[in-house]
Amino acid sequence: MRILLTLLLVYIANPAVAQQENDLGTEAQRAEGKEVYDIKCAHCHGYEGDASAVATPYLRPTPRDFTSGNYKFRSTASGELPTTEDIKRSIRLGMPYTSMPAWEGILSETEITNLAYYLKTFESAFDGPYGNPTVVEIPRAPSYSADPDHLARGREVFEANQCADCHGENGRGNGESAPELVDDWGYPIRAADMTKRWTFRASATREDIYRTFMTGLNGTPMPSYEQTIDEEDRWALVDYVWSLSRDTPDYGTTVTVQGRSGELVLGDSLFEAAPETYFPIVGQIIEPGRAFYPGVNGISVKAVYNESEIAIQLQWHDMTAETEGMNNPGIEVPMFDPAQPDTLMDGWSDAVAALLPSRTPEGLERPYFMFGDSRFPMSIWYTDLATDSAAVLTGQGSGRIADNGIALERSASYEDGVWTVQFKGPRSRGELTMSEATFVPISFTVWDGFNGERGNKRGISAWYHLYLQPMETQSAVLPMAKWFLIVLGAELLIVALVNLRARRRKTA
Partner 1 sequence: MNLFMLLAIAAAMVLIQFVVTRWVKLNRLAWMGIWWAALWAAFSYGINPPLPNSIIVLFMAIITIALVAYLSADNEELKQAKESIVRFMVTRQYRVALLIVMLVIPGAVAAWIFASMNEAPQPPSSGRTIHPPPPSSITFQGTSINLTTANNPIRELQHTDEAAFAEHVANGRRIYFENCFYCHGDNMEGAGMFAHGYDPLPANFNDATTIAMLQESYLFWRIAKGAPGLPSESTPWSSAMPAWEDFLTEEEIWDVIIFLYEFTGFEPRAQGMPH
Contact with partner 1 (CB under 8 A) among 106, 265, 273, 345 = 106
Contact with partner 1 (CB under 8 A) among 266, 282, 331, 339 = 282
Contact with partner 1 (CB under 8 A) among 55, 138, 326, 391 = 55
Residue 111 DSSP one-character state = H
Contact 178/321 with Cβ under 8 angstroms? no
Supply the minimum distance, in Å, between the C-beta of residue 233 and partner 1: 36
CA distance 433 to 443: 17
Contact with partner 1 (CB under 8 A) among 14, 253, 374, 413 = 253
Contact 58/73 with Cβ under 8 angstroms? no
Q: Dihedral sign, CA of 270, 275, 276, 279?
A: negative
State the Cα angle at 343 between 342 and 345, rounded to 5°: 125
Task: Between 131 and 294, name the residue whose CB sits nearer to partner 1.
Answer: 294
**Helix, strand or coil, per DSSP, at residue 190:** coil
495 forms part of the interface with partner 1 (CB under 8 A): yes
CA distance 210 to 384: 40
Contact with partner 1 (CB under 8 A) among 36, 51, 311, 460 = 460
Which residues are within 8 A (CB) of 468 and not within 5 positions of it... i.e. 6 or more apart? 257, 259, 305, 310, 434, 435, 436, 437, 438, 440
Task: Between 51 and 241, name the residue whose CB sits nearer to partner 1.
Answer: 51
Supply the minimum distance, in Å, between the C-beta of residue 162 and partner 1: 31
Contact with partner 1 (CB under 8 A) among 7, 18, 31, 488 = 488
- Is it true that the peptide bond before 61 is cis, omega within 30 degrees of 0? yes
Contact 187/114 with Cβ under 8 angstroms? no
Task: Between 12 and 481, name the residue whose CB sits nearer to partner 1.
Answer: 481
Supply the minimum distance, in Å, between the C-beta of residue 384 and partner 1: 23
Find the part of the chain contacting partner 1 (CB under 8 A) among 19-27, 403-411, 424-432, 490-498: 490-498
**342-371 residues near partner 1, rule: CB under 8 A:** 363-369
CA distance 478 to 363: 32
Contact with partner 1 (CB under 8 A) among 164, 266, 467, 471 = 467
CA distance 457 to 445: 10
287 forms part of the interface with partner 1 (CB under 8 A): yes
Which residues are paired to 301 by β-bridges? 277, 314
Supply the minimum distance, in Å, between the C-beta of residue 307 and partner 1: 21
Contact with partner 1 (CB under 8 A) among 5, 476, 504, 507 = 476
CA dist list (Å): 67 to 52, 63, 121, 124, 200: 11, 12, 9, 8, 24
251 forms part of the interface with partner 1 (CB under 8 A): yes
Supply the minimum distance, in Å, between the C-beta of residue 40 and partner 1: 7
Contact with partner 1 (CB under 8 A) among 11, 144, 185, 484 = 484
Sites of contact with partner 1 (CB under 8 A): 40, 43-44, 53-55, 58, 97-99, 101, 106, 251, 253-254, 280-283, 285-288, 292, 335, 363-369, 373, 376, 437, 439, 460-463, 465, 467, 474, 476, 479-481, 483-488, 491-492, 494-495, 498-499, 502
